[in-house]
Amino acid sequence: MARSERAQPELSLDEYRRLWNIPKWAYNGVENPNETLRGCEHIWTQWERDDLAAALENAGNLLAGELEYYLAPRYLIDYDKVWSDPVQLRWGHVIGPGIRARTEVTPSASDFTVDPATITVPSASFTGGTSEVVVIEDSTGLEIEPDAIATSGTDYVISIGQEKLIEWDDLEAQSDPIDYDAAFPAATWLKLADLTIYREYRDEDTTQATITYGPSCTCWCSGTACTGTDYTACVYVLNHEIGLVRVNRATVSAGVWSCDQTAICGCYAGDKATVYYQAGTDDAPNWKQAVYRLAHSMMGEQPCGCALQERQWRLDRYELKVLTAERINCPWGNTNGSWAAWSWVQTQRHGKGFML
Measured distance CA(166)–CA(144) in Å, rounded: 11
Give the closest residue to 165 by CA, choosing from 148, 145, 151, 150: 145
Measured distance CA(280)–CA(93) in Å, rounded: 5
Contacts of 187 (CB under 8 A, 6+ apart): none
Measured distance CA(344)–CA(347) in Å, rounded: 5
> How would you label 157-172 residue by residue, b for 16+ Cβ within 10 Å and e otherwise?
bbebbbbbbbbbeebe
Strand partners, 157: 120, 150
Measured distance CA(6)–CA(57) in Å, rounded: 10
Q: In 153-214, where do the E strands start and end?
A: 155-160, 178-179, 195-203, 209-213
**Three-state DSSP class for 164?**
helix
**pLDDT for the residue 1:** 67
**pLDDT for the residue 350:** 42
Give the closest residue to 214 by CA, choosing from 228, 226, 224: 228
10-53 pLDDT, tens digit each: 999 999 999 988 999 999 989 898 888 877 778 898 989 999 99
Could you tell me the pLDDT band of residue 266, with boundaries at 50, 70 and 90? low
**Three-state DSSP class for 223?**
coil
126-172 pLDDT, tens digit each: 999 999 999 999 999 999 999 999 999 999 999 999 999 999 988 88
pTM: 0.90
Instruction: Work out whether the CA dihedral 340, 341, 344, 350 comes out positive or negative.
Output: negative
For the residues 298-316, what does the mean pLDDT come to? 83
**pLDDT for the residue 201:** 97
322-351 pLDDT, tens digit each: 888 888 889 999 999 999 999 999 988 744
210-236 pLDDT, tens digit each: 998 887 776 665 566 777 788 999 999
Name the amino acid, one letter, at 114: V
**pLDDT for the residue 351:** 43
Give the closest residue to 134 by CA, choosing from 197, 204, 52, 53: 197
Q: Provide the residue ranges of all domains of the chain, joining segments of one domain with +.
A: 13-68+284-349, 74-98+204-279, 101-203
